[in-house]
Amino acid sequence: MASGGEFSEQILADLIAQGLSGEELLAKFKELSKKIAPAMNRLISEADSIAKGEKSGATMSDIFGPEDK
């Protein structure tokens, strides 16, 4: 299960780049950090469903568009 701690540095860097500091920085960091674990768990669950064949994944053309010839 993902904890979200792996993304702390990236979250902080982004918030600082947005100009946040002090209490505002801390509050926003806590808010965003709480959202990471549920998002990662949904991502893992979706990947498991795709691997089991229960759900179809995106194709290369879904992601990159039709191939030019």
Q: How far apart are CA 64 and CA 15, in angstroms?
A: 30
> What is the distance, to the nearest Å, from the Cα of residue 38 to the centroid of all Cα atoms in its chain?
9
pTM: 0.63
Determine contact, residues 27/21, Cβ cutoff 8 Å.
no
Q: Where are the domains of the chain?
A: 28-53
**How confident is the prediction along the chain (69 residues), in pLDDT tens digits per residue?**
445 577 899 999 999 999 999 999 999 999 999 999 899 999 999 999 999 999 998 888 888 988 776
CB atoms within 10 A of CB 15: 19
What is the structure's pLDDT at 1? 46
